[in-house]
Structure 1
Amino acid sequence: MSRLIVKGLPATMTEPKLRAMFSERGTVTDCQLKYTREGKFRRFAFVGFDNERDAEDARHHLDRTFINASRIEVEVCKPFGDETKPRAWSKYAKDSSAYQQLNPSGTEEKTSKYQPAAKKSKIDPNKDPKFAEFLEVQNKTGLFTPKEDDEQQVEATDDLIVQLLRGVSGDTKLSLTFRGLPPSVKQKSVKEWLAPIRLKAMKIVRNEVEAAAFISFNRMPDVRRALQRTGEFLGGFKVEIAKVPTSGGSGAAAAEEEEPEAPEDRKTENEKITAAILDTGRLFVRNLPYVCTTETLESLFSTYGEIADLTLVVDKKTGKSKGFAVVTFVFPENAAAAYAALDGTIFQGRMLHLLPGEEKRDAPNGGSAFPDADAKSSFKKQKDAKVKANAGQSHTWNALFLGANAVADTLAAKLNTTKAALLDADGGTSAGVRMALGETRLVRETRDFLLANNVSLDSFSRPAAKRSDTIIIAKNLPAGIAADELRRMFQRYGDVGRLLLPPEGGISALIEMNRAEDAKKAFKALAYSRLRTMPLYLEWAPGDVFGAQAEGAAKPQSASRK
């Protein structure tokens, strides 16, 4: 496994120190120090590496070593739900006996049906004056009872909720309260933690100990999905999510409204999640390492079936992953198999969390994703939108496709004549013959230019060849277009690596984007769009379009016509 658990850390340990210590053994993808809700360090942490070899090397060299005066233990972290994982013993773990002793309320409810409640052994200070006097003497020395401290913290949390609900009126069925957040939490952090759930509005109040939030959603399914996140951790703080208590109504009705939903059985919950995945065939993957790439993610999920689409969300400034992605399978059964096998497993040092992906909202009922293709649009607009939506599904054009109008314009410019004179039928040959000869000449020049730039023309003759996700073929370009104009058009969606356009008469071009995500955006936005007076045809180039010689060679300069 590529994820380690480090125990026995000193109380003064910080995340930068621990990360620097383990970074000497490899690339650290995750480093989390664990704290209680009150902010007390629990003296253990999780450290993730991008590969198992570095993790094993770190465990071998750092296990049973000393940090200051504390000897640490470095062990391999077990995946979520692993039956071989040792039983928890900490008082902060719900499944430990220490936690049950400190929180007997959960077990009392189970035994109350079968046996009478035990007699209270605690002494009430209001009824025993000697015990009250004893507490008064202890408090003079600066001591206080733990119960008093707990009550003060509960009152502080309740004060936050009161501040949140101050001024709230109307229907609050689509709103929830979040308590137990880190005191320095930002709205951006909460949005990323709840992704892909979409928020409508958010209000945060805080004190020195914790923060609380009032969040409104657009749909009831989003509310139910957010409620399932209760008990999870954000920045080392356990977050409690609850419905907004209603202010009106009778006591019985209000109590029923405020009562939280009973937790569902794990098996039933998995059945619901699997059913949702079978409906869409999409998976939302989060908690990915920031060094993750589209290629590594595709190699992980492709073992379970053919992938129709994979979108890894990246930061535009750094080009690195933001930590979540959406994977769409051709067959929904493969998506369900991937969920069952990968949810809770460790990938590049982080524990994957898979959720059912929502169906694309921009194309309901099999319609188009473009606003001008609704029911009121003309048949022509609907057809154009459908063609544009299916542009990237297969290759439908010759790689060296030349439009007749562009051929005529280019030949006229080369021969220093007008297009009317070129198409004049009074000469010795017909206009069709002259156009065919001119098109043959342009195709030959384009082939020679591509071969000179180490482009493998044989790759275009293999329809079943794997397509590149960064190289795009642009065809049906208008005559006289310059490489700089074409580059500026694609640079609006990301950095352009290289662009091949024949210096004279080029009406087909190869554009390579530096990132696959930017290439997808450019392809979706520009396919079948109007360039000057002509539609722009785009196609994904074969994966081996640039031969082996081009990999080690310097990138050729894009030619442009003056």
Structure 2
Amino acid sequence: MSRLIIKDLPEKLNIKNFQREVSSYGTVTDFQMIHTKDGTFRRFGFVGYKSKEDTDKALHNLNKKMILNQKIKAEICNSLVKSSKKHANTTAVDGALLGKNNSADLTFLHSKMQQPKNDKAKQLSGLNVSYDEDRLFVTNLSSSCTVDDLQLLFASYDSKVQINIPLNTRKQCIGYGFAMFSKPSYCKQACLNLDGSIFQGRQLHITPAKSKEIDNKNITEKKKPVSEKTPNNKFNTLFIGTNSIANVIAERVKCDKTFLVDGAGNKTAAVGVALGEAQIVKETKEFLETNGVSIGSFNDNHSERSKTVIIAKNLPLSVTSSELHEMFEKHAKLGRVLLAPSGVAAIIECLDASAAKKAFMKLAYRRIHHKPLYLEWAPVSIFDNKISSEPLNNNKIFVKNLNFKTNEKNLKSHFETVGEVVSCSVAKKKRAVTGELLSMGYGFVEYKLSKDCTAALTSLNNSKLDGHMMKLEPAQDKHTAPAKSSESSKLIVRNIPFQANDKEIEHLFKSFGELRSVRLPRKIKSGDDRDLHRGFAFVDFMSVENALNAFNALKDSTHLYGRRLVLEWATT
């Protein structure tokens, strides 16, 4: 506990001097001297400290201290015991927290309540107010409370809880906040256990949050996507639209865009745009790495997302870094603003999580010049320069036979006994009917150091977690060049659009070196499908070096006729 009750204070105590004294022991978040209604001092008060260490220090110094020839008492202030009838006069709170077990008592109480005479009175009295089952309203927070502090408090009930704390102009908490849970049951449990508890020296008051009022009549079909946007949107970070690629290429070669559409030489427009995209993506990656951005953090779509760093996509070619800075600084104080050389993507770093969320919600899908602005939260390790330079497949473990109830938190805790874990994920799929995410019984664990990965494969293989004996294997990333790539010159290209032909695939890969062969397996000749290929191809280069250059240039984000090409090394 971080709150003290001070008893037996002198009647003629100088409040300001006493407040100055208790502040010398640590950061005070709450200070109250209790008086009666007529102003008579009741000779006791409360002092709240931000940390338990400050509280212990104050308790040691204040207890049995002599003030004005009178010995005072200092004791730890315990949380108030929750009453099961605390919200008995509020229908919505009973429904959200207590259920319908006390329906007879509620009926009796409601029969004794005076009914408002009009709709406005009903709204003011709270009878017509609806409450969320998965969102809590938290009050009596200290001014120094942050999103991370409140996140840590509720994380034991729901690891995916989302916290929102309004701030004043000085970037301080104004005394209240909101917590949104992934399930109503988590919300109910957190409210029952934490309401009345001591947090940072203050007694928390937690109630279900009122539902947001939305006027559906005024929401047009065009505006609905904007109102329904959430901070969890994920786009292919390195994806660049075909039109943007054509604009960039035309600007660089000083020609009209129609020249690219008509094709140049033997290359079709699709091949020209694909090669242009590969070049632009390469330049973007080099620019980001030069500025301390971890490109590897973009590969994991299930990784934790940052609360302060935003990725802006679909930018017009003419946009400038200063223009983006001016747009975002209206809503938040900014750190780094990185605009790619092609001008189609940018990374914006905000200094405050609450202001970053406000900027995200205000600017998402906002028109900039003539294009809508696409925003996405960046991975949490986007500016992590400490990521090991060793290949990822040396440090990653494939974990099989997981219990379907095992989550990422338990899995990470189990493997952290060996060494530092960089990332941990459990493979999941959506249930067709409800859309609920279900575990598939396997996952991946990545260590920072290869020696820890090797030790885990030895010591944790066949170990038990949640009653299941796990099987561990070194993870094989098929999209990364294997050790034998130095001996292979053949690539498998998947996800090829059906309108692409052999010549286009040949022209695309011939730009990286001389080819030995290009083969697109065809479907069995029958009906209208007799001329269609099967959507993948084998490309064999004359040299291993040229094959490696093509793999590195096209593997990240190369699109042909709007479909992203997937490159793998052929094993035979």
TM-score range normalised by the length of the shorter chain: 0.5 to 0.7
Tell me what 1:145 maps to: none
Matched, 1:309 2:162: yes
Q: Residue 419 in 1 paired to residue 257 in 2?
A: yes
1:473 aligns with 2:473: no
User: Helix, strand or coil for the counterpart of 1:498?
Assistant: strand
1:43 is aligned to 2:43: yes
Give the greater-gyration-radius structure (CA): 1
Which residues of structure 2 form unaligned runs of 5+? Answer: 84-114, 388-572
Q: How many Å apart are 1:443 and its aligned residue?
A: 0.4
Q: 1:489-547 deviations in whole A, cap 9, x for unaligned?
A: 11111111211112x31311111111111111111121122211111111111111111
Deviation per residue, 1:70-112 (Å, 9 max, x gap): 32211111211289xxxxxxxxxxxxxxxxxxxxxxxxxxxxx
Report the AA paired with residue 534 of structure 1.
K
Corresponding letter in the other structure for 1:38: D
Match in the other structure for 1:34: 34
2:287 is the counterpart of 1:449: yes
Q: What is the DSSP-based 3-state SS (H/G/I as helix, E as strand, rest coil) of the residue aligned with 2:175?
A: strand
Q: Please state how far the C-alpha of 1:308 moved relative to its aligned partner.
A: 4.7
| Whole-Å separation in 1 of the counterparts to 2:155 and 2:386 | 29
Secondary structure of the structure 2 residue equivalent to 1:46: strand
Matched, 1:523 2:360: yes
Alpha carbons of 1:295 and 1:3: their partners in 2 closer, same or farther (altered >3 Å)?
A: same
TM-score (normalised: structure 1): 0.59
Instruction: Give me the whole-angstrom Cα distance separating, in 2, the residues matched to 1:22 and 1:463.
Output: 49
State the match for 1:361 in structure 2: 213
Whether the 8 Å contact between 2:297 and 2:381 is mirrored in structure 1 is yes
Structure 1 Cα separation of the partners of residues 121 and 327 of structure 2 = 38
Q: CA deviation at 1:428?
A: 4.6
Deviation at 1:389, TM superposition (A): 1.7
Q: Identity of aligned pairs, percent?
A: 37
Instruction: State the partner residue of 2:184.
Output: 332
Secondary structure, counterpart of 2:156 in structure 1: helix
Counterpart position of 1:223: 125
- Does 2:13 align with 1:13? yes
Structure 1 partner of 2:538: none
CA deviation profile, 1:332-363 (whole Å, cap 9, x unmatched):
1111101110011100100001111111212x
For 2:225, the equivalent position in structure 1 comes to: 386
Q: Given the superposition, is the C-alpha separation of residues 34 and 530 from structure 1 closer, same or farther in structure 2, using an over 3 Å criterion?
A: same
Q: Distance in 2 between matches of 1:222 and 1:313?
A: 24
The answer to whether the 8 Å contact 1:35/1:42 transfers is yes
Rounded Cα–Cα distance in structure 2 between residues aligned with 1:219 and 1:469 = 41
Alignment of 1:369-408 (within 5 A): 373=219, 377=220, 379=221, 381=222, 385-386=224-225, 389-395=228-234, 397-408=235-246
Q: Is the 8 A contact 1:34 1:44 kept in 2?
A: yes
2:166, 2:177 within 8 Å by CA — same for their partners in 1? yes
For structure 1, which runs of at least 5 residues remain unmatched after alignment? 84-171, 176-216, 226-272, 551-562
Offset at residue 305 of structure 1 (A): 2.0
Q: Note the 1:503-514 alignment, pairs <5 A.
A: 504-514=341-351
Q: Which amino acid aligns with 1:46?
A: F
Q: Per-residue displacement from partner, 1:170-224 (whole Å, max 9, x unpaired)? A: xx9599xxxxxxxxxxxxxxxxxxxxxxxxxxxxxxxxxxxxxxxxx95525425
> How large is the RMSD of aligned CA atoms in angstroms?
2.8
- Give the distance between the partners of 2:218 and 2:37, measured in 1 at CA: 51
Aligned to 2:373: 536
Q: State whether residues 499 and 512 of structure 1, in contact with CA within 8 Å, keep that contact through their aligned partners in structure 2.
A: yes
Tell me if structure 2 keeps the 8 A contact 1:401–1:476. Answer: no
- Residue of structure 2 equivalent to 1:286: 139
Residues 106-125 of structure 1: pairs in structure 2 closer than 5 A: none
Paired residue type of 1:415: V
TM-score (norm 2): 0.58
Spell out, residue by residue over 1:137-192, the C-alpha distance to the aligned partner (whole angstroms, 9 max, x if none): xxxxxxxxxxxxxxxxxxxxxxxxxxxxxxxxxxx9599xxxxxxxxxxxxxxxxx
Partner of 1:352: 204
CA–CA separation in structure 2 for the residues paired with 1:528 and 1:336: 34
SS class of match (2:47): strand
1:547 aligns with 2:399: no
CA distance in 2, matches of 1:305, 1:536: 32
1:25 match: 25
Q: SS state of the match for residue 471, structure 1?
A: strand
Q: Write the letter of the residue equivalent to 1:480.
A: S
Shift of 1:21: 0.8
SS where residue 37 of structure 1 aligns? Answer: coil
Provide closer, same or farther for how the CA distance between residues 14 and 541 of structure 1 changes in structure 2, counting only shifts above 3 A. Answer: farther
Q: Which residue of 1 aligns with 2:80?
A: 80
Conserved 8 A contact 2:293-2:385: no
Specify the SS of the correspondent of 1:541: strand
Supply the AA of the counterpart residue of 2:180: T
Q: Which amino acid aligns with 1:28?
A: V
Change (3 A) 1:320 1:361: same
Q: Are the equivalent residues in 2 in contact too, given 1:286–1:324 (CA < 8 A)?
A: yes
Q: Distance in 1 between matches of 2:242 and 2:117?
A: 58
8 Å CA contact retained: 1:446, 1:506: no
Shift of residue 318, structure 1, vs aligned partner: 1.1
Go from structure 1 to structure 2 and tell me whether the alpha carbon gap of 1:224 and 1:360 turns closer, same or farther (over 3 Å shift).
closer
Residue matched to 1:193 = none
Whole-angstrom distance in 2 between the partners of 1:417 and 1:11: 88
Task: Report the Cα distance in structure 2 between the residues aligned to 1:417 and 1:474, rounded to whole angstroms.
Answer: 28
Q: 1:218 to 1:515 in 2, by over 3 A?
A: farther
Deviations 1:40-66 (A, max 9, x none): 222211000111121011111121112
- How many angstroms apart in 1 are the aligned matches of 2:14 and 2:186? 42
The answer to whether the Cα contact below 8 Å between 1:472 and 1:539 also exists between their aligned partners in 2 is yes
Q: Which amino acid aligns with 1:477?
A: L
| CA gap 1:52/1:526 in 2 versus in 1, 3 angstroms | same
CA separation in 2, counterparts of 1:60 and 1:35? 26
1:82–1:505 distance in 2 versus 1, CA, 3 Å: closer
Q: 1:346 & 1:372 partners in 2: Cα distance?
A: 43
- 8 Å CA contact 1:19, 1:28 repeated in 2: no
Residue 420 of structure 1 and its aligned partner are, at CA, apart by 3.3
Shift of 1:471: 0.9
Following superposition, the deviation at residue 425 of structure 1 comes to: 3.5
The answer as to 2:500 corresponding to 1:500 is no
Q: Which residue of the partner structure matches residue 297 of structure 1?
A: 150
The question of whether the paired residues in 2 share the 8 Å contact of 1:529 and 1:536 is answered with yes
Equivalences, count? 356
Q: Name the SS for the 2:239 alignment partner.
A: coil
Task: Name the aligned partner's letter for residue 338 of structure 2.
Answer: L
1:75–1:359 distance in 2 versus 1, CA, 3 Å: same
Separation in 1 of the partners of 2:126 and 2:218? 34
Quick one: distance in 1 between partners of 2:322 and 2:230?
25
Q: What's the CA shift for 1:454?
A: 1.5
Distance 1:405 1:13, change over 3 A: farther
SS at match of 2:32: strand
Is residue 322 from structure 1 mapped to residue 166 from structure 2 by the alignment?
A: no
Change (3 A) 1:219 1:406: farther
Question: What's the secondary structure of 1:538's corresponding residue?
Answer: strand
